[in-house]
Amino acid sequence: MPEFPEVRTFINHLKKQHLLGQEVTKVNFIDPKVLKNSNPKTFSNFIIGEKFEDIDQIGKLIVISLSNDKYLTIHLRMEGKLFFVDSSLKPDKFTMVEMICGKKKLIYLDFRKFGTFYIYKSKKEFLESDEVSKIGLQPFDHKLTASYLLDNFDGKSQAIKTTLLDQTIIAGIGNIYADEILFACKINPLRKTKSLTKQDCQNIINACRRIMKDAISHSGTTVSSFAFAPSHAGSYQKYLKVHTRSNQPCTVCKTKIKKITVNGRGTYYCPRCQAK
C-alpha cells in the first residue's frame, strides 16, 4: 500500500489541482528522515527556485520532473501521502516536509515514516540510479508480454504470490492487487512460479490490466488509511473479491475465503476456485 492505482490517483489529483508549473519558494522540514540522499540544506538548495514540470509514476514510485533537468522521486512505502494544499494550512503531526509554492504547498505526510525522497541532478543520473534502473515493466507497458513473464518466471521455485510482488518483474503490484489478480486467474497463491504456463502468464497480464484500470476508475482502494486528498478516499475496496475477505463466501462458488501467510504477507484466496 499504496500500489499502482493509488499512486496514479495521487498523481491525477495533484495534476487537477494545478501542481505543474508551480515554483518552490521555500521548504519546511518537520522531520527530514524522509531525505535519503540529501539533507535539509542540500535539498533546499536543490529545489528552491525550480518548477514542477511533470509528475508521473514508475510502478509505485512517484517521479517529479523539475526545471533544469532535475528529478525528485518519492516512494510512499506503507502510508505516505502527498497533498497540494493552501499554504495557510497548519502542518499536522504526520507532516514531514512542506514545499511552499506561494499560496499553495506540496506536503508529504507519513505516520509510519517509511517513505523516501531521492534527488537527481539530471535525467541520466535519475535513469541510471539503483532506485530506478532495477524497476521492471509497468502494467500497461506494451513490452509486458506472456513471453517476458515466462522468461522471468523460469527456474523460480518461490510462490507466485511472492513473485508478483517482485518490483523488478512487474512494477506496481502490491499485496492487495496480487491477491485479486491470482483470484481472477484461478491460480493458487502458493503455486511454484516456474510451473506457470504461457497461458497463465497471459491471464495474469490481462487480469492485472483490467483490475488496475478498474481500481484507478474508483480512485484506488482504501484498506488502512489511503486518501488521495484530505478527506477523500478511494472506493475500490467495495469491489475486492478476496483481499481482506477471510471467512466470507467466494463471489463465484460460495466457499469461504481463506487467509494464509505467504513469505510473511497476509494472503487471501478461494480454496476451491484457486485449488491449484
C-alpha cell at 159: 510462490
- Candidate segments 189-197, 224-232, 241-249, 268-276, binder of Zn ion by CB under 5 A: 268-276
Distance in Å, CB of 273 to Zn ion, minimum = 3
Distance in Å, CB of 187 to Zn ion, minimum = 13
Question: Nearest CA to 207 among 179, 248, 239, 237?
Answer: 179
Question: What is the Cα–Cα distance from 30 to 14, expressed in whole angstroms?
Answer: 22
According to the binding rule CB under 5 A, does residue 190 interact with Zn ion?
no
Distance in Å, CB of 272 to Zn ion, minimum = 5
- Candidate segments 105-113, 114-122, 176-184, 267-275, binder of Zn ion by CB under 5 A: 267-275
Question: Nearest CA to 144 among 181, 187, 192, 92?
Answer: 181
In the bound state with Zn ion, the residue whose beta carbon lies nearer, of 7 and 270, is 270
According to the binding rule CB under 5 A, does residue 196 interact with Zn ion?
no
The answer to whether the CB of 185 falls within 8 A of the CB of 204 is: yes
In the bound state with Zn ion, the residue whose beta carbon lies nearer, of 127 and 252, is 252
Ranges within 225-254 binding Zn ion (CB under 5 A): 250, 252-253
Distance in Å, CB of 256 to Zn ion, minimum = 9
**41 phi/psi in degrees, rounded to 5:** -70, -50
Distance in Å, CB of 5 to Zn ion, minimum = 24
Strand-pair category, 95-101 with 81-86: unpaired
In the bound state with Zn ion, the residue whose beta carbon lies nearer, of 157 and 247, is 247
Strand-pair category, 104-109 with 70-75: unpaired
Question: What is the Cα–Cα distance from 126 to 135, expressed in whole angstroms?
Answer: 12
According to the binding rule CB under 5 A, does residue 127 interact with Zn ion?
no
* Closest-approach residue to Zn ion (CB): 250
Question: What is the Cα–Cα distance from 113 to 95, expressed in whole angstroms?
Answer: 10
Q: Kindly determine how many residues on this chain lie close enough to bind Zn ion according to the rule CB under 5 A.
A: 7
The answer to whether the CB of 73 falls within 8 A of the CB of 61 is: yes
Question: Nearest CA to 177 among 133, 148, 138?
Answer: 138
According to the binding rule CB under 5 A, does residue 272 interact with Zn ion?
yes
Provide the annotated active-site residues: 2-3, 60, 265
According to the binding rule CB under 5 A, does residue 270 interact with Zn ion?
yes
Handedness of CA 126, 106, 166, 197 (dihedral sign): negative
According to the binding rule CB under 5 A, does residue 187 interact with Zn ion?
no
In the bound state with Zn ion, the residue whose beta carbon lies nearer, of 127 and 253, is 253
- Residues in contact with Zn ion by CB under 5 A are 250, 252-253, 255, 270, 272-273
